[in-house]
Structure 1
Amino acid sequence: MARRPQQRFTEDDFETLEGRASKTEQKKAVQRMAALGEQLAELNPKQIQKLPVEERLIDALLDVRSITSHEARRRQFLRIGKLLRNEDESVILSYLTPQQGAKKTAQLQRWVERMIIQGDPVIKEFMKAHNAAEHHPIRQHILRIQRDITKQVPAEELAESKLKLFNYIQQVALISDN
């Protein structure tokens, strides 16, 4: 059998893959969104109706209350997680944040700032405190922020990168608190 010629990869090849999540990360993101869906389902029906999301998501959240089978509930929460991917994370988290309170939000903001400045030791400390946290996504967000700082990108882009990290940290904290 003939050997295939060895393919050489260029720096551009890696640049195109840099922001892309692996299949494992995508699956974990779906599980994280399903866990957020479980928290949204715990809201009372009036609060669910007021959510600024698609009608299909509101219907799915209301339907899950009537499902008693464990497996059916699990599948429904996965469906809710998929529907949540189309929504703005910040809006959803703003409805769940009152459960955490202002003190917890300020504490999470301090975690984010410490992670950006100090790196891995703080990430490991955060992971010990929050069992749902994963090292790789946090590290990717921080590397992106640090790269933005060194490239001196506009303040809006840097703020957006920091918001993505904060949203992830907030999701992890919400899931870990339960």
Structure 2
Amino acid sequence: MARRPQQRFTEDDFESLEGRASKTEQKKAVQRMAALGEQLSELSLKQIQKLPVEERLIEALEDVRNITSGEARRRQFLRIGKLLRNEDESVILSYLTPQQGLKKTAQLHRWVDRMIAQGDPAIKEFMKSHNAAEHHPIRQHILRIHRDINKKLPEEDIAASKLKLFNYIQQVALISDN
């Protein structure tokens, strides 16, 4: 069988793929969102109704309180996770952070700064203390931040990249604490 000519990839080919999550990463994101949904369901009924989210999500969070079957609850939390994907992560996390406290939030900000400065050693240390953390997504966020800094992008873009990393770290911390 004849060999195909070797195709040369350009920088543009990789740029188009950047930021696209693999199937595994998408599944893990759904699981993280479902876990956040579980935490949201633990809020009081008043707090749930005050959430600035779609009505369907509020109804799903209220419905899960009446479900007793384990499998039905699991499916409902997956549904809640799916609905959460349409919402702003920062808003959802702001409602859950009072459970963490200001001290924990400041500690997470220090972790973000440390991981950006030190790289893999800090990531590994963070992963030891937070069992829900995964190396690849954290590393991707950090590489994106470094790329933005090297390209001398505006400070707003760098801050947006750091916020994405912080949101991921905060999700992991919320899930790991339980």
Q: Name the counterpart of 2:115.
A: 115
Distance 1:4 1:48 in 2: 58
Q: Which letter maps to 1:50?
A: K
- Scaled by the length of structure 1, what TM-score is found? 0.97
Question: Within 5 A, what are the aligned runs for 1:1-178?
Answer: 5-178=5-178
Distance 1:4 1:153 in 2: 40
SS at match of 1:86: coil
Distance 2:6 2:77 in 1: 45
Identical-residue share of aligned pairs (%): 88
Contiguous gaps of at least 5 residues in structure 1: none
Give the C-alpha shift of residue 145 in structure 1: 0.4
Number of residue pairs aligned between Structure 1 and Structure 2? 178
Give the C-alpha shift of residue 14 in structure 1: 1.1
Distance 2:86 2:49 in 1: 18
Give the C-alpha shift of residue 159 in structure 1: 0.5
Distance 1:6 1:59 in 2: 54
Distance 1:166 1:145 in 2: 12
Give the C-alpha shift of residue 10 in structure 1: 2.3
Deviates more, 1:10-19 or 1:105-114: 10-19
Distance 2:63 2:27 in 1: 24
Q: Which letter maps to 1:78?
A: L
Deviates more, 1:88-97 or 1:10-19: 10-19
For the aligned residue pairs, the C-alpha RMSD in angstroms reads 1.1
Q: Which letter maps to 1:61?
A: L
Distance 1:15 1:110 in 2: 30
Distance 1:10 1:25 in 2: 25
Give the C-alpha shift of residue 2 in structure 1: 6.5
Contiguous gaps of at least 5 residues in structure 2: none
SS at match of 2:76: helix
Deviates more, 1:71-80 or 1:6-15: 6-15
Distance 1:2 1:116 in 2: 47
Distance 2:92 2:64 in 1: 18
Distance 2:80 2:28 in 1: 14
- Scaled by the length of structure 2, what TM-score is found? 0.97
Distance 1:80 1:5 in 2: 48
Give the C-alpha shift of residue 12 in structure 1: 1.3
Distance 2:40 2:57 in 1: 10
SS at match of 2:91: helix
Distance 2:119 2:74 in 1: 35
Distance 2:105 2:68 in 1: 34
Q: Which letter maps to 1:166?
A: F
